[in-house]
Amino acid sequence: MVLVDQEPWESTDAVRLREAQRVELDARYGNDNHEPGEEPTAASVPVFLVARDADGTAVGCGGLRPLTPDSAEIKRMYVIPAARGTGVAVAILRALEHQARELGVRTLLLETGTAQPEAMRFYEREGYHRIDNFGPYRGAPLSICYARDLP
């Protein structure tokens, strides 16, 4: 069982999960300069969700950054290694899609990277399709972008 709820960007678990993601990505890319564009903040990512397992342990997170009145970008989607393959990522993604619909968002976009093939497979399996890189990711050689129109 996984429970996904909105939490403040600066909650202890939200900060810890984003830090774990950063450490993992820094190791994958061999540096700490692998994300083009403006660093996400509490102001730019007003919806931030944390997933907890049956024991209440925070095991994953994800957020929404509004782009236009009808589009948003998924940011900081992450699941701790021990919880991967257990449905946590799907639960977070569905909760983000639900929150997006509640905000009137019709299209979700996201960026992942060339060193994250499991992320690419996950998003494609979940109905996202590859698009030309958008916004700050245009021309970024390590970026791969996806989109999904919400039903």
Q: What is the pLDDT of residue 47?
A: 98
Give the CATH fold of the 3-149 domain: Aminopeptidase (3.40.630)
Q: Divide the 151 residues of the chain into consecutive groups of 10 and give the mean pLDDT of each group.
A: 96 98 93 82 97 97 97 98 97 98 98 96 98 96 96 87
Q: Give residue for tokens 């996400």.
A: 40
| pLDDT score for 38 | 86
Per-domain residue ranges of the chain: 3-149
Side-chain-facing half-sphere of 50: CA atoms under 13 Å: 17
Q: How far is CA 1 from CA 4, 40, 56, 59, 75, in A?
A: 10, 29, 10, 12, 23
Full-model pTM:
0.95
Q: So what's the pLDDT on residue 1? A: 87
The pLDDT value given to residue 32: 80
Helices marked H in 30-138? 88-102, 117-125
Query: How are strands ordered across the β-sheet holding 143-149?
Result: 3-6, 47-52, 58-68, 71-79, 107-113, 143-149, 129-131
